[in-house]
Amino acid sequence: MAEKASTLTKAPAVSDIHIVWITAGLGCDGDSVSITAAEQPSIEDVLLGAIPGLPKVHLHNPVLAYENGADFLKFYYDAEKGLLDPFVLVVEGSIPNEKIKEEGYWAAVGTNPETGQPITTCEWIDRLAPKALAVIGAGTCATYGGIHAMAGNPTGCMGLADYLGWDWRSKAGLPIVNVPGCPVQPDNFMETVLYLLYQVAGLAPMIPLDKQLRPTWLFGKTVHEGCDRGSYYEQGDFAQNYGSSKCLVKLGCWGPVVDCNVTKRGWMRGIGGCPNVGGICIGCTMPGFPDKFMPFMDEPPGGTLSSTIIGTYGRMIRTLRGITNTTLNKEPKWRHSRPELTTGYHPTTY
Amino acid sequence: MATIPETLAYEGQKKRTLVDMNWDPITRIVGSLGIFTKIDFENREVAECYSTSSIFRGYSIFMKGKDPRDAHFITSRICGICGDNHATCAVYAQNMAFGVRPPALAEWIINLGEAAEYMFDHNIFQDNLVGVDFCEQMVKETNPGVWDKAQSTASPNADKHGYRTIADIMTSLNPFTGTFYRETLAMSRLTREMFCLMEGRHVHPSTLYPGGVGTVATIQLFTDYLVRLMKYVEFMKKVVPLHDDLFDFFYEALPGYEKVGLRRTLLACWGSYNDPDHCDYQYKNMDAWGKKMFVTPGIVVDGKLVTNNLVDINRNIRILLGSSYYEDWQGKETFVKKDPLGNPIDQNHPWNQTTTPRPQKRDFNGNYTWVMSPRWYDERTGDHLALDTGGGPIARLWSTALSGLVDINYVKATGHSVKINLPKTALLPEVEFEWKIPQWSNAIERDRARTYFQAYAAATALHFVEKALSELHAGRTATWSEFKVPDEAIGCGFHEAVRGVLSHHVVIRDGKIANYHPYPPTPWNANPRDIYGTPGPYEDAVQNTPIFEENGPDKFKGIDIMRAVRSFDPCLPCGVHMYVGDGRTIEVKHSPMFGAAGHE
């Protein structure tokens, strides 16, 4: 018992670790806001050392930082110089293509003291990624490009792996870790951070990722596989109007073919989500988002075929289940107030 | 921050020594904002200020040709803290364009979601982001004298919030270790759960649609919301007196503090919470149903209500250039020549705007921002007014108070104040708060109004829960109305994002989006000089800000400037560019959040 307990209570392999966060991609900061909603673990759980086994964590996120301006930016410069080792780099927002124009910038933070011009987000990634122990893409913009990378966009923006290369490895040998979602589901992100901290502390093996670089335990199932409306689908019973509690596939839900756990996990404390609470799945965790899912409110092309096939079977099943259900809604006939016992027991003493 | 002393001689002025003080990025807001100033430490004033931000995304560009039903899903992504305000505003514009009126229950559900958003967002911004500027650690580092005084100053409302001295309040605001800091962070989660009950996900909702909502309206839904709401109501009974104590103390401890962030009262509010009994989404009736909103729209100039008519508000919006990285659209297409009432629509109106970005080097003497300059054309004077939102609440309360139209069980607008009645909760009796029109539009009053509006939002939510339940009890459970997307249509939506005015304008042709321009609050607040040379709101606010910080150039934190800027609740995804000229000119530009729109 004592030995088992020590796994989490022994000193971590590193005593301190920094999280250096860049929100200056083309995004909305919604992922930073999202993580303040997390409770499993919460940001303060991690920062105040409420979780056993972790190194001391120092977070440098512009939305939450006490420091301003140069006092804040010093963390970026220090990380670049190797003074914040080890650190995890988090990138939020899609990465614009700064090479497609002659001058100016699409996204930047801080000012280059030599030129007086803004330092582009791309330059910061170039400076910091090679020094980081691990790089995390937070949200669909940073992971795959997202909304701002939609067809017709003027900035040519892309995801982190498109920018650094899908085979990119950190100096510690880790691939980019993608936690998609628009925004990222709060606990999905914090749990991934927690896993990486455990890995850094020597308490967990290499983080398991799928081909799209997502943690497999979070993105290994489809929305539909976790959806509490899946049984309506099975019974061929489809919502015809928004606001119905039935399966939404005919109203634009892509859940059957989208990798995401939101229907299992909900949004916060199991509350909210997408198709489970009446919101069609628009595929926001997917590399093909948003274009391959638009127009969002039309039935997915494959939906007609699959729902027609399931329709015949489902209607039959539903009918049969209805009959059984009616039976089950009746109490057995031996429960009555008549002056006789009909349960099958034959008393000999009364 | 770089500090480069430099001696300048201004014509007709004494020589003075200016020190470059730069903050890039400004943290604890959403988005990239840099502030570049020259400070005259001898005379304790900001001499020059440039504010700059640096993000362009291009929403108005990539939305062209897309299905108009997708607009709310797309535009939600403009903002990561009030995305749902965009989704809601987009739905309002879609409803108008599609000619659909959602069931009443759907409107109550949206109002409940938006109320939860106000409760959440003001809460986390006020006490986890702004609050840090007033916390023990910060006050000790910037004004040790104020900290000393705080320790010996009893909190007048200690019996209501439990913090004996002002210093105790400041300690409780220390990031992560402060008890009130952590309590508000936890409360920001409870209110987001309330939000998720109504709109599915925070911050980009999953259950909003043109025509209504996909939320399944059950007794459980409203019970789950109400039980949480009452906890927040009880929390408000502590929070409002706590902030009154803290903010009153600053006036007392630092005489003249009312000048921090002060500017002429030029406030805009586009109204919030539609009343389904009146709102039919028809443009021709917009004046009438706008006045039935539970936060009354209005433009307040020098303390007087100029108009509360949404049609007048709409037709006089102008988007100007002057210092932004875009091409002019004067020669481009005019999408809407007249509104549905026959009023002419200007080429500089969002319906007619064409966004053409031209990236270039940043030049503080020329173009230096991705933000355009929204203005409101005052027909009485011919002025293009640089209205601000004051971060939202001060404009909403001021406008609502002056109109005197809102009168529900829990909220009453009196013509000069807003009364907020909170019912008995588990441990505390009934409480009435009264927000009175303040003497100034300044940093402290913007922050104070934010706290009162948290209570206002909770009070309106109580009303909406009652209305929703009465629909449910009457058996009217539908939450969505069917519609058809027309080939040709125009629409507009007016709403209050958490930090102020929000409008969406759409033009539909051949069943697709031909033009779409959202205007959120940050471009209104943080824009640069326009073509007429009119500075944006931050200019006034920063220009009038004296320096109370005790630190000299070596350890200068710029706390008074930070409090002035943060009182506007700069929106994350918006970049802010601010340019403050020679001690008289302060220009702030903000790049709004989105791309396309104008700002962005």
The pLDDT value given to residue B54:
66
The pLDDT value given to residue B574:
40
Q: Which residue of A has its CA nearest to B174?
A: A66
CB contact under 8 A, B216 and A148: no
The pLDDT value given to residue B463:
98
Residue whose structure tokens are 């914090």: A190
The pLDDT value given to residue A1:
44
Residue B597: band (very low, low, confident or very high) from pLDDT cuts 50, 70, 90: very low
Please name the residues between 163 and 202 in chain A that touch chain B, using a CB distance below 8 Å: 182-183
- Chosen for mutation from B206, B499, B589 (greatest number of chain A CBs closer than 10 Å) is B206
**Statement: residue B10 has pLDDT above 70:** no
CB contact under 8 A, A277 and B215: yes
Poorest-pLDDT segment among B118-122, B391-395, B560-564: B560-564
- Chosen for mutation from A20, A22, A28, A284 (greatest number of chain B CBs closer than 10 Å) is A28
**Statement: residue B229 has pLDDT above 50:** yes
pLDDT along chain A (350 residues), means of 10: 56 89 92 94 93 93 88 95 96 96 90 89 97 98 97 96 98 97 98 96 95 98 97 95 96 97 97 97 98 96 87 92 95 96 96
The pLDDT value given to residue B42:
84
- Judging contacts by C-beta atoms under 8 Å, the chain A residues touching residue B137 are 66
- Judging contacts by C-beta atoms under 8 Å, the chain B residues touching residue A66 are 27, 132, 137-138, 175
Beta carbons within 8 Å of B565's beta carbon, 6+ residues apart: B26, B29, B33, B35, B51, B261, B538, B541, B542, B576
The pLDDT value given to residue B563:
94
Q: Which residue of A has its CA nearest to B131?
A: A66
Beta carbons within 8 Å of A102's beta carbon, 6+ residues apart: none
- Judging contacts by C-beta atoms under 8 Å, the chain A residues touching residue B211 are 242
The mean pLDDT value for B526-548 works out to 82
In angstroms, what separates the C-alpha of A150 from chain B's closest C-alpha?
Answer: 7
**Statement: residue B408 has pLDDT above 60:** yes
**Statement: residue B593 has pLDDT above 60:** no
Q: In a 3-state reduction of DSSP, which class is residue A113? A: coil
CB proximity B225 to A under 8 Å? no
**Statement: residue B288 has pLDDT above 90:** yes
Distance of CA A350 to the CA centre of its chain: 66
**Statement: residue B451 has pLDDT above 50:** yes
Residue among A63, A146, A242 whose CB faces B209 most closely: A242
Task: Choose among A203, A192, A173: nearest CA to A13.
Answer: A203
As a whole number of angstroms, the distance between CA B117 and CA B454 comes to 10
In angstroms, what separates the C-alpha of B237 from chain A's closest C-alpha?
Answer: 23
Q: What beta strand segments (E) does chain A contain?
A: 16-22, 56-60, 87-92, 108-111, 118-120, 134-138, 177-179
CB contact under 8 A, A277 and B216: yes
**Statement: residue B172 has pLDDT above 90:** yes
User: What CA dihedral angle connects A329, A330, A331 and A333, to 10 degrees?
Assistant: -160
C-alpha distances (whole Å) from B506 to each of B69, B349, B373 are 11, 12, 19
CB proximity B200 to A under 8 Å? yes
Please name the residues between 287 and 326 in chain B that touch chain A, using a CB distance below 8 Å: 325
CB proximity B74 to A under 8 Å? yes
CB proximity A320 to B under 8 Å? no
ipTM field: 0.94
CB proximity B577 to A under 8 Å? no
The pLDDT value given to residue A314:
93
- With a pLDDT cut of 70, the percent of chain B lying above it is 91
- Judging contacts by C-beta atoms under 8 Å, the chain B residues touching residue A248 are 214
The pLDDT value given to residue B53:
64
The pLDDT value given to residue B7:
45
CB proximity A110 to B under 8 Å? yes
In angstroms, what separates the C-alpha of B26 from chain A's closest C-alpha?
Answer: 5
CB contact under 8 A, B66 and A294: yes
Please name the residues between 60 and 89 in chain A that touch chain B, using a CB distance below 8 Å: 62-73
Specify the DSSP class assigned to residue A176. Answer: P
- Judging contacts by C-beta atoms under 8 Å, the chain B residues touching residue A69 are 1, 22-27, 34-35, 558
CB contact under 8 A, B67 and A271: no
The pLDDT value given to residue B221:
98
The mean pLDDT value for B106-129 works out to 96
Half-sphere exposure of B407 (CA within 13 A, CB side): 6
Give A342 or B597, the one with higher predicted confidence: A342
In angstroms, what separates the C-alpha of B107 from chain A's closest C-alpha?
Answer: 13
**Statement: residue B300 has pLDDT above 70:** yes
Residue B155: band (very low, low, confident or very high) from pLDDT cuts 50, 70, 90: very high
**pTM for this structure?**
0.93
Residue B322: band (very low, low, confident or very high) from pLDDT cuts 50, 70, 90: confident
- Judging contacts by C-beta atoms under 8 Å, the chain B residues touching residue A106 are 55-56, 359
In angstroms, what separates the C-alpha of A349 from chain B's closest C-alpha?
Answer: 50
3-class SS letters over B331-372 = CCCCCCCECCCCCECCCCCHHHCCCCECCCCCCCCCCCECCC
